[in-house]
Amino acid sequence: EHTLDHFRQPMRQADVLRTLLDEEHRFRHLLERGRGVLAKPRFQGPLTEEDFHYLHDTHGLPRELVKTLREE
C-alpha cells in the first residue's frame, strides 16, 4: 500500500463546499470588523508597531491585511 493512500481520507464534495463557504464567511466578517476598527480616529494616522500588535492580538488582523484595508 502506498503511503499517501494510507493517509488519504474520503471526502464528500458537500463537506468541502461547506468548509469553503464557512471560511469565506469568516473572512468577510474579519474584513468588515477590520474596516470598522481602522475607521476609528486612533488608526487614521501612521501606524506604530504597537498598533499592529494591538490590531493582531485584539482583533485578529494580520499586518498585511491591515495594510491592504488601509489602501482601500
How confident is the prediction for the chain on average, in pLDDT?
92
pLDDT in tens, 27-62: 999 999 999 999 999 999 999 999 999 999 999 999
Q: What is the mean pLDDT of residues 1-9?
A: 69
CA angle 29/64/62 to nearest 5° reads 55
- Dihedral through CA 47, CA 49, CA 54, CA 56, nearest 10? 100
Cell of 57: 492580538
Q: What is the pLDDT of residue 22?
A: 98
Read off the pTM: 0.74
